[in-house]
Structure 1
Amino acid sequence: MTYFNKDIETLPIDKLRKLQNERLQHQVQMIYNTVPFYKQQFDERGLKPSDIRTVHDLHKLPFTKKDALRENYPFGLFTVPVSDTVRLHCSSGTTGKPIVVGYTKKDIDIFSEVIARSLTAAGCQKGMKMQNAYGYGLFTGGLGLHYGAEKLEMTVIPISGGGTEKQIMLLQDFQSEAICCTPSYALTIAEMIEKKGIDLKSLNLKYAVLGAEPWTESVRAEVEAKLGVTATNIYGLSEIIGPGVSQEDFEEKGTGSYVWEDHFYPEIVDKDTGEPVPEGQTGVLVFTTLTKEAMPMMRYWTNDIASLYYDKSAKRTHVKMGPILGRSDEMLIIRGVNLFHTQVEAVLEHSTDFSSNYQLVVKREGTMDSVEVNIEINPELYKGLLKETSLEDVLQHEKIQQAHKMLTKKIKDEIGLSMKVNLASPGIIPRSEGGKLSRILDLRSK
């Protein structure tokens, strides 16, 4: 078994809690003394830093939500002068002012360490070449993975996102063993490799570390088959540190991602009441930083829907989080049924008639919301049918119509919603060009 920091990653739970509590007390005292926003939060509730002695006292504090970061733009939540930071990043938000995060030198060291842990858990080792196809710049992904890979003493190829043909050229010429990118972009690369007829034996890829957007087992299966890799999930968010908050182990795929609890304390709460939910049940993921210097976060409401549980048979003692089902603010409520786009993705698992490239289209008809699914026909099936009939007739082919009928029924049976399923030829639905890919097209405000 390989670890980056075995002493911490296998620390007994009682000792881990002791370490968390000590670090939490220091964080609480620091933010109370240096961040007016947090001091006000404490004072309004009649709380002093001494009232928060253990992680079990965190429920006394309110949640920190994204609005607080926007209202304190740009540096109002910093505990140190900007001159004491060594880096500033911004979130990839598309509306209004961005979310600004700052890092001291110690923060960057922690960031690099949790990424190095994550890459090790993903199967990467010292001396391997890592092709980093996350975006560089204000987004935390590119530089975060870069520094962490260097800490692990990997050879980093900082290609950034996009330029798919060059990505493939370097995969062949540099013989990269690992690639880091979004899962949707991994599929874009895989699709291009398939289109060009490139033999996977000409590549040396072994591992794909994928994150920044929710994905499912069906996507994992497709990426692994088409790139010849072991694919694992890396999770994070700029407000907490960036990628590397949690990571799946390559030998424990599908059993959850380890949260690096010595730095980030997680909670799962009910999205409506904010109350904690039992271990293993889903709710909103909330994080408290335990070691951040420049911009600590107390009970940050991520909006991500997931679950937490301890796996006593696992390699590490740290808690595991289940896959992100979606975001609470992106959850669709259609005719009284809660819907995440990943549920549709899961229905497509093992399908040989359709590709994994799909899009949900949300519309409002009168006073009712409705959702449709746009889905592409499997390229191989599509090409095969073109030999028998014309392009215009493919979608009406008996085999396609039967598959369409079965998919429509499966969606209704497994999700509990009747949805119109619109079939498309390959290449019609938008693909990732390196960044995050939105699977939902909301036309209700148009």
Structure 2
Amino acid sequence: MIYDVKNETLPREDMEALQLRRLKSLCERVYANVPFYKKKFDEKGVKPQDIKTLKDVSLLPFTVKQDLRDQYPFGMFAVPKDQIVRIHSSSGTTGTATVVGYTKRDIENWGELVARCMMAAGASAADTVHNAYGYGLFTGGLGAHYGAEALGATVVPMSGGSTRRQVTLLKDFAPDVICCTPSYALFLAETGLEMGIDIRELPLRIGIFGAEPWTNEMRADIEKKLGITAIDIYGLSEIMGPGVAIECAAAQDGLHIQEDHFLAETIDPVSGEPVGPGEEGELVFTTLTKEGIPLIRYRTRDLTTLNYTPCKCGRTTVRMRRVTGRSDDMLIIRGVNVFPSQIESILIDTEGLTPHYQLIIERQGNLDTLEVQVEVNEALFSDEIKSLQRVESKVMKNIKEFLGVTAKVKLVEPKSIERSLGKAKRIIDNRHKD
């Protein structure tokens, strides 16, 4: 089923014509209404009327997260404050918070796009959606909520936390769909077993997971432990929130980007030059319809590829490969580039280990060290010490062989790594601490 047949199945020529019209209008709006962009355009020597083809987007300046921080709180808004009906914001834990404003039309569009995503995932108006994304300034909770309502589904606005109660309600309310982070889904399954409730035996059939990178190995683990189809949804607060792209249940082969609202590019993260379809690059978005805080060529730092081949589900929108790493998420250990997702794949492929792990980076003298702490399951934990040592050695060998970096591996007892109610904290980098 397709929620918006007209816009999700447009021929490529018609989609690009629509995008160009909206891009031209966007450039005129931000040049006239956002001093930040007028200055950026002028510094590059580009005017709105210079945009004559979609390829001309490369003439436009990039926007980065620091720009939003520098314009805190409302410097990026393109409409008067009295037209803003909602404000969302990042936590600001790594610096000044980024602030995003929405007009009434922005909120309506957001709900429609998330509804599109939910239908692509296999949900329908007849379903009940258990929404365990956090409500508040974080975009996940309200984004999923409005989307489920636009779809016509019944929403259980659970939010994050109260894990044992969540499991009880999954049993009592019997929802068909759950929305949360992938790591929290595994925590729910684990908690359920402690309570004598096997989520696999409940009516739950679809999980819509986002807000953190996750691997195909983790997907398989979730589907096995919850007995559901696990669907990857993509979004980021600066662009809109959840609903920018999603996998379809028909293929689970790349995430369909809502191209009538977001113009996607991939660039070389170092040079900033465009890369071709199918080549890995940093994902860049231009918001074609946003009124409150439209963004030009926003650098997401997410690494992916773009596939323009129409999908077997009938949608013609470009698909992005699942994001498993970010250019600013990459660790450099003694000159070797390592992504947490690469280590996660090795851990999940190792019998006896769980998906709960942390990477601890220290500096000893002038050298960086990496320690991988990973929980074992109950069966391995109760085994003899020699068995644990063999598993540690095996993981160390695989990390060295496949990633080219030496890591210390420490197996820890079940449930000893702190569970997150939102995004899992995978990396503890102590190199720059006093």
Q: What band does the TM-score fall into relative to the shorter chain? A: over 0.9
How many residues are paired up? 432
Q: Would you say the 8 A contact 2:250–2:312 is kept in 1?
A: no
C-alpha RMSD over aligned residues: 1.3
Among candidates 405, 408, 411, match of residue 399 of structure 2: 411
CA 199–66 in structure 1, closer or farther in 2 if over 3 Å, else same: closer
In structure 1, the residue corresponding to 2:284 is in which secondary structure?
Answer: strand
Unaligned stretches of 5+ in structure 2? none
Give the corresponding residue for 1:234: 233
Give the corresponding residue for 2:389: 401
Q: Would you say the 8 A contact 1:209–1:233 is kept in 2?
A: yes
Give the corresponding residue for 1:424: 412
AA of the residue aligned to 1:411: I
CA 97–199 in structure 1, closer or farther in 2 if over 3 Å, else same: closer
Q: How does 1:178-257 map to 2 (within 5 A)?
A: 178-200=177-199, 202-253=201-252, 255-257=253-255
Give the corresponding residue for 1:143: 142
Determine if the alignment matches structure 1 residue 435 to structure 2 residue 433.
Answer: no
Q: CA deviation at 1:313?
A: 4.5
Q: CA deviation at 1:202?
A: 4.6
Structure 1 distance, partners of 2:221, 2:273, is 37
1:193-238 deviation line (CA, Å, top 9, x unaligned): 1222323465210111000000011111111111111011111011
Give the corresponding residue for 1:65: 64
Q: Would you say the 8 A contact 2:217–2:345 is kept in 1?
A: yes
In structure 2, the residue corresponding to 1:3 is in which secondary structure?
Answer: coil
Q: CA deviation at 1:23?
A: 0.7
Query: What TM-score, normalized by structure 1, do the two folds share?
Result: 0.94
Q: Would you say the 8 A contact 1:64–1:300 is kept in 2?
A: yes
CA 65–200 in structure 1, closer or farther in 2 if over 3 Å, else same: closer
AA of the residue aligned to 1:188: F
Q: Would you say the 8 A contact 1:218–1:356 is kept in 2?
A: no
AA of the residue aligned to 2:77: F
Unaligned stretches of 5+ in structure 1? 386-393
Q: How does 1:70-219 map to 2 (within 5 A)?
A: 70-200=69-199, 202-219=201-218
Structure 2 distance, partners of 1:313, 1:325, is 21
Structure 2 distance, partners of 1:293, 1:102, is 9
Q: CA deviation at 1:364?
A: 0.9
Structure 1 distance, partners of 2:199, 2:131, is 19
AA of the residue aligned to 2:394: M
CA 8–197 in structure 1, closer or farther in 2 if over 3 Å, else same: same
AA of the residue aligned to 1:436: K
CA 381–195 in structure 1, closer or farther in 2 if over 3 Å, else same: farther
| Structure 1 runs of 4+ with >4 Å offset | none
Structure 2 distance, partners of 1:179, 1:355, is 22
Give the corresponding residue for 2:322: 323
Structure 1 distance, partners of 2:189, 2:216, is 16
Query: What TM-score, normalized by structure 2, do the two folds share?
Result: 0.97
Determine if the alignment matches structure 1 residue 338 to structure 2 residue 337.
Answer: yes
Structure 2 distance, partners of 1:428, 1:123, is 36
Structure 2 distance, partners of 1:162, 1:54, is 48
1:379-410 deviation line (CA, Å, top 9, x unaligned): 23324x3xxxxxxxx4x2x2222222222111
Structure 2 distance, partners of 1:405, 1:311, is 43
In structure 2, the residue corresponding to 1:343 is in which secondary structure?
Answer: helix
